């Protein structure tokens, strides 16, 4: 079945890359948030910019023929990672609407990544 071959060929690697990309993107963005909104020193921006550069570099490693498709599929992973950040870093438990919305986004990610292409 074409779905299974596509999943085995790039599924696990893609999700690992996306997970690390999300971590670096969220950490980088949080560095700017902390500086502007939480009054942290401007020095927080340096590791934030490095983190954002790592995020961008990781997305180029996803096995895909189109950047737009890669970025679209990444969106679902980013949303889930953001809710994990909300829970673990900000100590706020996601509610049922957060979880339901994330599930819908992950379904969209799977359709984009593994749907048959003509």
**Distance between terminal CA atoms of the chain?**
15
DSSP class of residue 61 equals T
Residue 112 has a CB neighbour count (10 Å cut-off) of 17
Q: What's the token pair of residue 114?
A: 């593994």
Closest CA to 59 of 22, 98, 10, 84: 22
Q: Where are the domains of the chain?
A: 2-114
pLDDT at 6 over 60: no
Question: Can you give the pLDDT at residue 62?
Answer: 86
Average pLDDT over residues 47-54: 97
Question: Can you give the pLDDT at residue 93?
Answer: 97
Distance CA 90, CA 98 (A): 15
Give the global pTM.
0.78
Tens digit of each residue's pLDDT (9 = 90 or more) over 55-95: 999 999 988 888 888 899 899 999 999 999 999 998 999 99
Local confidence band at 10 (pLDDT 50, 70, 90 cut-offs): low
Average pLDDT over residues 24-28: 96
């Amino acid at each position: 079945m074409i779905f299974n071959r596509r999943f085995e060929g790039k599924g696990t690697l893609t999700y690992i890359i996306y997970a690390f990309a999300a971590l670096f993107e969220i950490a980088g963005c949080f560095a700017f948030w902390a500086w502007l909104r939480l009054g942290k020193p401007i020095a927080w921006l340096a590791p934030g910019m490095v983190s954002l550069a790592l995020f961008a570099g990781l997305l180029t490693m996803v096995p895909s023929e189109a950047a737009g498709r890669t970025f679209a599929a990444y969106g679902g992973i980013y949303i889930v990672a953001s809710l994990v950040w909300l829970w673990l870093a900000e100590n706020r438990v996601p509610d049922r609407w957060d979880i339901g919305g994330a599930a819908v986004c992950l379904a969209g990610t799977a359709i984009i990544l593994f749907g048959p292409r003509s």
